[in-house]
Structure 1
Amino acid sequence: MTDPIQLTADLIRCPSVTPEEGGALTLLESLLADAGFECDRVDRGAVSNLFARWGPKGHDRSFGFNGHTDVVPVGDESAWTKPPFAGEIHGGTLYGRGATDMKSGVAAFASAAIDFVRKTPPDGAIILAITGDEEGDAVDGTTALLDYMQAQSEQMSACIVGEPTCPDMMGEMMKIGRRGSMTAWFEVTGVQGHSAYPHRAKNPVPAMARLMDRLASHQLDKGTDHFDASTLAVVTMDTGNPATNVIPAQCTGAVNIRFNDLHTGAGLSDWLTDEARLVAEEFGVNIRTRIKISGESFLTPPGPLSDLVARAVEAETGLRPELSTTGGTSDARFIKDHCPVVEFGLVGRTMHQVDECVAVDQILQLKAIYTRILTEYFS
């Protein structure tokens, strides 16, 4: 049997701070190849990715797992009470960067898949798509793997993303969708002048304040059946002006929007651009707008895949997981165009924190859940 705890510790010892591979994918490739998986490195740009398949190519029953081995930086290493890349176990808890997000998830589904095909070779295929670019720009990670799969006529029938999804207790929540995410940056340009003679200047600051207030005061919606209300947060306003007797020429600001399935990135972009135009006309200034859409809202409707995962989770934990769309973005936003996808993983309370850690019994539970899912799917 493949030990998911030891594999998690071994992966933690690979310093794979995004986009560095750090040896993590090399370790997994060797392990999976020894178990009979066909493995291909799908590296693109500075990013390393791994595609692994057991079973026939193009089978109509091809169950997939997706995850990432890259991790966020450790920050102030002196603040850690345990070495961030040592993978040490203390009192039943495994410590290290990536312990929760999400080397434990990768170790759980890799070990479950390896043991499953060795014990009960399925009628179908199991695909593991593992990236090194989830914590970074996510441009050359899972998207590169999906591009490769399309070019090679590889297909997943369904997929689980092994991100940590449970807020406090193992088994309490799974994700069946995610809100969309976008950021808009505004640059207001007026005319610099002396603060004692404001009529000789065009102050960009009141224009920016008006724009931010209009955006933040607008109710985007009241939520939908599976999503909370969309939110807009003002995240910065700045002039870079240290002088109190100078009206600055420019002011910058930005907002971040998390939106549900009532909206699209394009529709919200049009609204933001129109609001900026109205304020520019009102104040006689110029407003330049730049928008980045990180991901669209999506939903995998409750059905066979979510039911399958929920049954396995309840059997192993005693909890029926809540079907949720909360949180930030994940690589499921790319996979949803390829096949039905849900997310289920560990308790994520310490992800990205100092002394990131995971209870070792949770790793064993997660492997058991993934094994049960594979057993029922191929039965």
Structure 2
Amino acid sequence: MEKTQKIKILQDLVKINSVNGNEREISEYLSNLLNQYGIKNEIIPFTDDPSRSNLIAEIGTGKSDKVFGLTGHQDTVAVVDEQKWKYPAFSATIDGDKLYGRGAADMKSGLAAEVIALIELVENDQIPDGKVKLVITAGEEFGAPGAYKVDPQIIKNLDAILVGEATNGNVTYAHSGSFNYRINSHGKSVHSSTPDLGIDAINGLVAYINAEQQAFSDLPVDDVLGNVQHSITVIEGGKQVNTIPDSAHLLGNVRPTPAFGNIQVRKLIEDTIAKINSETEFNLEFELLHDFYPIRTAEDNEFVQDAKRVSQSFYPDRKIKTYANNGATDASVFVQSNPDAPVIILGPDNVGTSHQIDEYTTISSYLNTIDIYQQIIKDFFA
């Protein structure tokens, strides 16, 4: 494929507004592209929302039982204040080596690179003896509904998984999970002139916030991912200044690790709430919103080290690193079906601009990533 065509494909994807929705347009664009090269693919629409869909593609002769997994997501986070952007957020403007736009880094550049990598393997008659499955999802940025809709049998059959999120060419071999929850506080409403006759639902949340700090203060430390990170991120309650509120809620986020996982996090929160309910007049209720698991592949795993070596060969301008972080990806869902498959995250520039104003990738890293993915796939089947 010509360089200009590769760049145009990325620009086309960035120009499609898929802010946590409208993924169907991305799926149809990529499906049409794959069809031009005779690559088997299927759009899988959401039954509850026809504007959203996953896309599954596959190449390979099937002569070997080995299956390599590539995955990426089609949605982006929102554009909060486009007036502050250097260029319009969906213009895919190129300035020098940089291509600007919402999703340019997270992760339409990685997604386009995955698709083009398959196309070029087919074009160059380098189709693997096994199979390469490309799993493209909707909604990763909020709730990962697309990842949960992928047939678990597809994931169970994968012998390795590469997630194409932006990493600046570095290789992530472990990341924390993400556990989002809501605490509903039920009280009794009265006039603020007689607060003793009521139960302030906001004070119930205060009791939980104070207890939460203590509950998470002394947990096992993971030798790779470190401490379990925990935050209260949203509080809402009360509508009138002279009325004791009878309802309030908060939202919290926890980043579980293999040393203290999702099941343990949930039990800790539920036990904390039960203690408050039994010892006070407050009535708190737990609600699980999202439950993403941590992933961890050994740093010295052959898959990790080969990816690092391949990436380094295409980036003479930088030292490629392997590292762990506290992010989360669709792999957090997939490892629940296939906990033994090695997983890496590897993609183009610029991870530091993901979700930010003036998000961008670099053309050079995008083109490198296409070649990196092809080489990793060929090494995997060698």
Query: Which TM-score band (shorter chain)?
Result: 0.7 to 0.9
Displacement of 1:312 in angstroms is 0.8
Quick one: which amino acid aligns to residue 41 of structure 1?
A: I
The residue that corresponds to 1:274 in the other structure is 271
2:61 touches 2:127 (CA, 8 Å); kept in 1? no
Quick one: which amino acid aligns to residue 97 of structure 1?
A: R
The 3 A distance-change label for structure 1 pair 376 and 211 is same
The residue that corresponds to 1:13 in the other structure is 15
The residue that corresponds to 2:314 in the other structure is 316
The aligned runs of 1:27-46 (5 Å cut-off) are: 27-45=29-47, 46=49
Distance in 2, matches of 1:202 and 1:84, equals 47
Is 2:177 the partner of 1:180? yes
Distance in 2, matches of 1:16 and 1:189, equals 37
Displacement of 1:230 in angstroms is 0.1
| Cα displacement string for residues 85-121 of structure 1 (whole angstroms, at most 9, x for unaligned residues) | 2322112211222111111111212222221232233
TM-score by length of 2: 0.87
The residue that corresponds to 1:191 in the other structure is 188
The 3 A distance-change label for structure 1 pair 208 and 106 is closer
The aligned runs of 1:366-377 (5 Å cut-off) are: 366-377=369-380
2:63 touches 2:129 (CA, 8 Å); kept in 1? no
The residue that corresponds to 2:281 in the other structure is 284
| Cα displacement string for residues 50-72 of structure 1 (whole angstroms, at most 9, x for unaligned residues) | 11111235842222211122223
Displacement of 1:2 in angstroms is 4.6
The 3 A distance-change label for structure 1 pair 316 and 286 is same
| Cα displacement string for residues 110-152 of structure 1 (whole angstroms, at most 9, x for unaligned residues) | 222221232233322222111233234322x2333334737xx
Distance in 1, matches of 2:199 and 2:63, equals 63
Quick one: which amino acid aligns to residue 368 of structure 2?
A: Q
2:61 touches 2:128 (CA, 8 Å); kept in 1? no
Quick one: which amino acid aligns to residue 59 of structure 2?
A: W
Is 2:293 the partner of 1:296? yes
Displacement of 1:204 in angstroms is 4.0
2:24 touches 2:45 (CA, 8 Å); kept in 1? no
The 3 A distance-change label for structure 1 pair 70 and 285 is closer
What secondary structure does 1:78 align onto? helix
The one of 138, 157, 160 equivalent to 2:144 is: 138
The residue that corresponds to 1:341 in the other structure is 343
Distance in 1, matches of 2:140 and 2:202, equals 37
The residue that corresponds to 1:325 in the other structure is 324
What secondary structure does 2:104 align onto? coil
The residue that corresponds to 2:82 in the other structure is 77
Distance in 1, matches of 2:171 and 2:243, equals 53
Identity across the alignment (%): 26
The one of 110, 115, 129 equivalent to 2:115 is: 110
Distance in 1, matches of 2:237 and 2:220, equals 34
The residue that corresponds to 1:306 in the other structure is 304
Distance in 2, matches of 1:2 and 1:156, equals 31
| Cα displacement string for residues 162-202 of structure 1 (whole angstroms, at most 9, x for unaligned residues) | 0112xxxx33x322232122233223333344555444344
| Cα displacement string for residues 264-312 of structure 1 (whole angstroms, at most 9, x for unaligned residues) | 3232222212211222232223222222342122322331211121111
1:92 touches 1:359 (CA, 8 Å); kept in 2? yes
The residue that corresponds to 1:61 in the other structure is 66
Distance in 1, matches of 2:17 and 2:181, equals 33
1:313 touches 1:320 (CA, 8 Å); kept in 2? no
Over the residues paired in the alignment, what is the CA RMSD in angstroms? Answer: 2.5
The residue that corresponds to 2:130 in the other structure is 124
Distance in 2, matches of 1:285 and 1:272, equals 16
Quick one: which amino acid aligns to residue 149 of structure 1?
A: I
Distance in 1, matches of 2:302 and 2:294, equals 21
The residue that corresponds to 1:236 in the other structure is 234
The 3 A distance-change label for structure 1 pair 262 and 26 is same
Distance in 2, matches of 1:131 and 1:92, equals 28
Quick one: which amino acid aligns to residue 232 of structure 2?
A: V
Displacement of 1:211 in angstroms is 1.9
What secondary structure does 2:77 align onto? coil
- The count of residues paired between Structure 1 and Structure 2 equals 369
Distance in 1, matches of 2:291 and 2:122, equals 36
The 3 A distance-change label for structure 1 pair 125 and 217 is same
- Which residues of structure 2 form unaligned runs of 5+? none
What secondary structure does 2:46 align onto? coil
What secondary structure does 1:228 align onto? coil
2:238 touches 2:244 (CA, 8 Å); kept in 1? no
Distance in 2, matches of 1:30 and 1:114, equals 12
Distance in 2, matches of 1:22 and 1:82, equals 25
Q: Which moved more, 1:1-10 or 1:209-218?
A: 1-10
The 3 A distance-change label for structure 1 pair 191 and 109 is closer
